[in-house]
Amino acid sequence: MKKQIGTTLALYPTPLTVIGAMVDGKPNWALVGHVGIIGHDRLLISMAAAHRTNEGIREEGVLSVNLVDEALLPKADHAGCVSGKREDKSGLFAWHAAENGAPLIDESPVSMACTVVDTYRTPGFESFICRIDGTWADEQVLNDAGKIDYRALKPVLFEMPTYEYVASGDVIGRCMHLKDDKK
């Protein structure tokens, strides 16, 4: 029997990302686990409205989404532990600007440059709906067809209720082919 546990947001874990935006001419970084897909060409990045990174997103209209793997995790965690209003985080990562001006983390195995097309506000949060302008991936996380191989990438996942980082798991089946896989 299931137990009613209130209005718990039960969609975790989610991919852990570092969001980058230019603020006062230099990059600022925020650790963000509230990310989602709202179409094949749109992302949703939900951030506390008070983040310094949000200031740059609102002003410039662009941001980067940088996936976190285990090697990047210590620096990414630091980005989430300190406020850009109190500490200059611009030197935390080596980076370069995408064509749209968004700062991309060189160490991230996969980075996306995005343009904000809409913003949805809820109490204390801003959710940026973004168009993906370009995606860059390290060659070692690509398969022979040039697609991202998430088994090679092994993105870190974020589990909100416990504030834990989780390793991504093994493949347990192929979508729409489970019946074939059981043979």
pLDDT at 129 over 90: yes
CA-to-CA distance for 79 and 92, rounded, in angstroms?
A: 8
Mean pLDDT over the full length of the chain: 94
- Tens digit of pLDDT for each residue in 139-160? 999 999 999 999 999 999 999 8
Is the CATH number 2.30.110.10 carried by domain 15-181? yes
Query: Does an H or E element contain 114, and which?
Result: strand 110-122
Q: Residue 97: is it exposed, middle or buried by C-beta count within 10 angstroms (0-12/13-18/19+)? A: middle
- Tens digit of pLDDT for each residue in 78-109? 999 999 999 999 999 999 999 999 999 999 99
Record the pTM: 0.94
CA-closest candidate to residue 47, choices 6, 38, 56: 56
